Structure 1
């Protein structure tokens, strides 16, 4: 009996460990795929971006045209990113409008009822007895007395001295001062980096960082970058200069971009389409990050800058 219980517990533990190991391997080795397609015609831009992982069980989709729309999917649960918030605000606005309408209706009904209560028909006024007249007179005098007392209390409240508590707002820095402080911090960081880069002992750390950062960028950059464009800057000389500048970058001719200059147009414009596609593997980025963290030269450089 004990051996069977231990056997069942062992099988359950093995299954749990296998699931954890499978999830870890999926996170490390299953790539995150992304793609973005779109078109542009001067200021009219239309684009779609989609990122997915693990056979599209986890996905993020965003569209941009006249309005921005998108959703996120976790396994079989799909939730909108922008439409839900707008819908909630619209429903809340409708509820507020309905509540206001209901309040006005009830106030109108109450006012009508109170007006009808004070009205006395002509036929009934003839049959009023002396006792009812006396009751009405006493009620009127009582109401007049209450109104006079209420007015006196209101006058007393107004004549009472009011001692307001003075609250001092915390002193806030002006935008110029905040900008100056941030710029000073950035300048100090740049000065520290220049000082450390000029030191011969830190050259190995900077070269190692440069190498690993290029590896990370290479793993993140898209594998496919297609571009079709027709453009003009408004004058033939600047159009030719911009075409020569674009031809200097190898990303254009390696991906076979089709860029057509328009030398005859007198107005600047640009229209075309693009298609970006790639994937990211977590293990490659994690390996580069760990190599940076465990490098003794990089650790010493970090300790010197963080002082």
Structure 2
């Protein structure tokens, strides 16, 4: 009997330890925040850096977008896994190193053929010299016979004086003009067809969105989703926003309207947001730096998920979406 009680006691202790570990892991997942930071610069060289960490950087993910490309790095409890990263070395560097020894090998391999190549070159040189002498003799005979070489300028004048040549040139000019006109109208027709197809595609998308919004299932579920999104955005507050941006919309009136719209956002006044409008620029641009830092807890996501799943309308909509 005492042995049985001891076994039950050991099993109970093990179960309590497992339950405590599960509760600890659940509490860590729900209450330890996920910290994120997004920073970079906009202008001639656009760079974006993203850093996400959780549990004192036990799990972290870093990504960067620069001129060289996109690179990322994932670290989980000290194990690092790198994502896509641009090559640091210059292309073809290994090929140049491997090819540096080729001239020596080629010279060593072709050394026996040097004498034969020199002999061949000598024979060719003698042949060319003999051909040159025969050419001089023929020219001398032509000069002695009073032969006269045609002048290129006179030949061109004769071709222009010929009516058939003039008609051919005129026909070629008209043909080129006609080809350009036909290519212009063909391109115009192609652009009009593309524009028409784009309008049809946009109208189809608008119709799909309207059908999506007017459906009874969506009308009941979407307000619930928007409410929970508002709740999440309220709790996922930014701890820091620092910007130093200069922008222009290319039109002073439009630039002023955008600035007025930004001034109507009350949450921006709580952070160090500095935006400078440029009313004199004639083109649209945005330059400057930005730094955004914040955190999010899994508890709020769990609360939103539980509340949504508790609504019958959302469950019906989710079932329809999964079986679509």
Sort the Cα spacing of 1:64 and 1:193 in 2 relative to 1 into closer, same or farther, 3 A.
Answer: closer
Paired residues of 2:213 and 2:219 also in contact (CA < 8 A): no
**What does 1:77-226 correspond to in 2, within 5 Å?**
77-83=79-85, 190=209, 192-197=211-216, 205-220=221-236, 222-226=238-242
Q: Which residue of 2 aligns with 1:64?
A: 65
Deviation at 1:285, TM superposition (A): 1.1
Sort the Cα spacing of 1:188 and 1:57 in 2 relative to 1 into closer, same or farther, 3 A.
Answer: same
Paired residues of 1:38 and 1:273 also in contact (CA < 8 A): yes
SS in 1 for 2:215: helix
Deviation at 1:58, TM superposition (A): 0.4
Sort the Cα spacing of 1:187 and 1:230 in 2 relative to 1 into closer, same or farther, 3 A.
Answer: closer
Deviation at 1:256, TM superposition (A): 4.2
Q: Which residue of 2 aligns with 1:17?
A: 19
TM-score by length of 2: 0.56
Are 1:281 and 2:300 counterparts? no
Q: Which residue of 2 aligns with 1:28?
A: 30
Deviation digits for residues 128-175 of structure 1, max 9, x if unmatched? xxxxxxxxxxxxxxxxxxxxxxxxxxxxxxxxxxxxxxxxxxxxxxxx
Paired residues of 1:219 and 1:285 also in contact (CA < 8 A): no
Query: Aligned equivalents of 2:73 and 2:10: distance in 1?
Result: 43
Q: Please provide the CA RMSD for this pair.
A: 4.6
Query: Aligned equivalents of 1:278 and 1:248: distance in 2?
Result: 22
Deviation at 1:195, TM superposition (A): 3.6
Query: Aligned equivalents of 1:32 and 1:271: distance in 2?
Result: 29
Question: Structure 2: any 5+ residue segments left out of the alignment?
Answer: 101-108, 111-197
Sort the Cα spacing of 1:94 and 1:275 in 2 relative to 1 into closer, same or farther, 3 A.
Answer: same
Query: Aligned equivalents of 1:204 and 1:219: distance in 2?
Result: 24
Deviation at 1:187, TM superposition (A): 6.7
Deviation digits for residues 189-222 of structure 1, max 9, x if unmatched? 535434434x9xx865443333123223334453
Query: Aligned equivalents of 1:234 and 1:195: distance in 2?
Result: 38
Sort the Cα spacing of 1:23 and 1:246 in 2 relative to 1 into closer, same or farther, 3 A.
Answer: same
- Matched residues, number: 239
Query: Aligned equivalents of 1:64 and 1:16: distance in 2?
Result: 43
